């Protein structure tokens, strides 16, 4: 038998707050490294700004889901996927340019 208990509002706010802060620091540091790469300016700007928007939408959406706004699940899914993709592309660009030989 599985017993499930809904988190309290304070627990949800703490969870959302901690995730937004910690992931924002991670994305800031990745964006800082990405800013010195040789990449198209518009693409670079997108890869640096988009994760911050997705973090707010994803974890804000999770809080709204907890509050009972079920339609937000689509925003959470889309922003979570986009956040993961932009982070992955950013890290791959950084790793590629770090390992590339400059001849």
Question: Could you tell me the residue ranges of all domains in the chain?
Answer: 50-96
Please tell me the predicted confidence (pLDDT) of residue 13. 86
* Mean pLDDT (whole number) for 12-23: 89
* Tokens encoding 68: 């009972």
Residue 75 above 90 pLDDT? yes
What pTM value is reported for the model? 0.80
Residue 50 above 60 pLDDT? yes
Q: Is 3 helix (H, G, I), strand (E, B) or coil?
A: coil
CA gap 70, 65 in Å, rounded: 6
Rounded to the nearest integer, the mean pLDDT of the chain is 89
Block residue for tokens 């509050």 = 67
Please tell me the predicted confidence (pLDDT) of residue 44. 92
Percent of the chain residues past pLDDT 90, beyond the cut: 61
């Amino acid at each position: 038998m599985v017993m499930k208990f809904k988190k309290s509002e304070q627990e949800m706010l703490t969870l959302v707050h901690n995730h937004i802060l910690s992931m924002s620091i991670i994305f800031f540091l990745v964006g800082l490294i990405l800013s010195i790469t040789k990449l198209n300016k518009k693409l670079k700007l997108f890869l640096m700004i988009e994760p911050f928007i997705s973090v707010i939408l994803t974890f804000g959406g999770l809080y709204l889901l907890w509050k009972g706004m079920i339609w937000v699940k689509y925003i959470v899914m889309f922003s979570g996927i986009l956040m993961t993709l932009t982070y992955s592309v950013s890290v791959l660009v950084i790793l590629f340019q770090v390992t590339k030989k400059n001849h």
